Amino acid sequence: MEKAYKDIRPAYLILADGTVFKGRNMGVAGTTIGEVVFTTGMTGYQETLTDPSYYGQLVTQTFPLIGNYGVNSEDKESSRVWVSGYIVREVCFEPSNFRSEKTMEQYLEENEIIGIYDIDTRALTKKIRETGVMNGAITTEWPEDMDALLKEIKAFSIKDAVASVSYDEPMTFTIDEPVCKVVLMDYGYKKNILRSLNQRGCEVIVMPHDTTLEQIRKIDPDGIMLSNGPGDPEENKEIIANLKEILDESEYPVLGICLGHQLMALAYGAKTEKLKFGHRGGNQPVFDLNKNRIFVTTQNHGYAVVSDSITEDIGRVSHYNANDKSCEGVIYNRPATFTVQFHPEACAGPHDTQYLFDNFVSNMIKYKGEK
């Protein structure tokens, strides 16, 4: 059902190259600038909105209808919405689902997010695929000085991303009779990482992004989990230095996901690169070299580890993307240490690679028995 005419506000998506898409506003009015990206997920839009990895980005949903099953209080991956703006083809104003508590429109308004709908998201996605991700702005007011706005759009960059989304204080999530104790390094972690560890009998202590080896030793964990997160991995000089000390001076089993995967590689002296348009969505094919088969995965990243920079003295590539052959996983020479670019815990999304959490827990149990 369409919104009442009096509630319809025009909105514009303006790209850094001057391309303009005219549509209608959802959420709040105003202007927001960010990096325009697209995600191919058919479901899980609430998880997308609340994923800290989307910090600083204007997120485009390629699936044409968003909001049809509403929004609830259970499916969020963090405490708030992190996208800078939201772009969809068609938004449903009357959702139908027994779990629905509010509409997409209400959710965006409550979180003060500027959105735009009724634009050609297929044309926008094709443009991003052909030219690469670019900055843009969503605005409900036609700019009086387009040149000045374009200058501001082009100058935009995502800075201090991890520090902006990470919690400042430790948080402990206990369970009855835990099998292992895990330190979860918060670079912008998704709650389902926490749930996946709890479900496997792990007590989880979420630690701030700048946690040091000395602080970890005081906790005496059985393993360390490196979370997902936003931004350019190379920007995180302090985190990379802390990780290098953790890896060189301790024997804790380690599992890294997404940004954690990239930061681990950088700590070992490998390289990362920015992809043309990234991998975002729940249908990304990944080849597992150990199992000699392809898994369908959920991903959300704009950077990747350079495969050739993973040399024999560091470890070996364990997974690669079946579409563009980019690095999707590394097994390190350091004992019980591996990382993946995709999200084995993803909701919504395929759960085919959750065995990686089982492998991590097995490594921790072995380490716990030997220490």
- Domain ranges, residue 66: 5-158
339 band by pLDDT with thresholds 50, 70 and 90: very high
186 and 122 within one domain: no
148 and 23 within one domain: yes
282-328 tens-digit pLDDT: 999 999 999 999 999 999 999 999 999 999 999 999 999 999 999 99
Q: How far is CA 55 from CA 19, 103, 110, 204, in A?
A: 23, 22, 18, 24
Strands (E), 234-326: 254-257, 272-288, 293-305, 315-321
22-67 tens-digit pLDDT: 999 999 999 999 999 999 999 999 999 999 999 999 999 999 999 9
Q: How far is CA 356 from CA 200, 246, 271, 359, 362, in A?
A: 12, 21, 24, 5, 10
Buried b (16+ CB within 10 A) or exposed e, 78-112: beebbbbbbbbbbbbbebeeeeeeebbbebbeebe
Write the DSSP symbol of residue 3: P
141-183 tens-digit pLDDT: 999 999 999 999 999 999 999 999 999 999 999 999 999 999 9
Residue 3 has pLDDT above 80, yes or no: no
146 and 168 within one domain: no
194 and 148 within one domain: no
252 and 184 within one domain: yes
233 and 145 within one domain: no
d(CA 106, CA 67): 11
6 band by pLDDT with thresholds 50, 70 and 90: very low
266-281 tens-digit pLDDT: 999 999 999 999 999 9
Domain count, the chain: 2
123 and 177 within one domain: no
* Residue of higher predicted confidence among 115 and 370: 115
Residue 84 has pLDDT above 80, yes or no: yes
CB-neighbour burial class of residue 324 (10 A; exposed 0-12, middle 13-18, buried 19+): exposed
pLDDT at 4 (0 to 100): 47
Return the closest-CA partner of residue 192 out of 364, 362, 48. Answer: 48
Residue 1 has pLDDT above 60, yes or no: no
d(CA 195, CA 300): 19
Provide the 3-class DSSP secondary structure of residue 181. strand
Q: How far is CA 368 from CA 183, 255, 361, in A?
A: 14, 16, 10
273 and 128 within one domain: no
Structure tokens at 84: 């800078």
175-230 tens-digit pLDDT: 999 999 999 999 999 999 999 999 999 999 999 999 999 999 999 999 999 999 99
Domain of 99: which CATH number?
A: 3.50.30.20
- Catalytic site residue from 258, 279, 319, 327: 258
Amino acid at 295: F
188 and 94 within one domain: no
Between β-strands 315-321 and 337-340, what pairing exists: parallel, antiparallel or unpaired?
Answer: unpaired
pLDDT at 45 (0 to 100): 96
Evaluate the CA torsion angle 241, 242, 244, 249 in order and state its sign: positive
Residue 95 has pLDDT above 50, yes or no: yes
pTM of the model as a whole: 0.95
pLDDT at 370 (0 to 100): 82
**Catalytic residue at 345?**
yes
199 and 145 within one domain: no
- Catalytic site residue from 209, 301, 319, 343: 343
- Catalytic site residue from 35, 77, 345, 347: 345
Last residue of a domain, one of 158, 175, 205: 158
Residue 2 has pLDDT above 90, yes or no: no
